Amino acid sequence: MSTIVDRFPTAGGATVEVAVRSGYFGRTDPTETYSVCSGCRDSDTVDWGWDPDCESGVQRHFDEGGKRSTPIALAWAKKHASRCRTAPTI
């Protein structure tokens, strides 16, 4: 499951889509911010630091809600959108 956070039109007419989604099988709550360009298919993943092997259940380094990770992903998407000149493939 993923939720679209934002979309940026690229210089070439494609779209960079930024979404939060679960990066782990069996989990439904989001653990990463994922960006993908519909033109060149270039993508970027910012992991929120979920530790699947953490046995105590306490996630010390987990970026709850992607508060730090999503701005990093949005910056990547904006930068890519301003530079990518590939026409949409879909």
**Least gap, CB of 15 to Zn ion (angstroms):** 9
53: Cα separation from own chain's centroid? 22
Least gap, CB of 80 to Zn ion (angstroms) = 6
Q: Cβ(45)–Cβ(69) under 8 Å?
A: no
At closest approach, how far in Å is the CB of 12 from Zn ion? Answer: 7
**Among 18, 19, 37, 73, which residue interacts with Zn ion (rule: CB under 5 A)?**
37
- Residue 65 neighbours by CB under 8 Å, 6+ apart: none
Which stretches of the chain bind Zn ion, using CB under 5 A? 37, 39-40, 42, 84
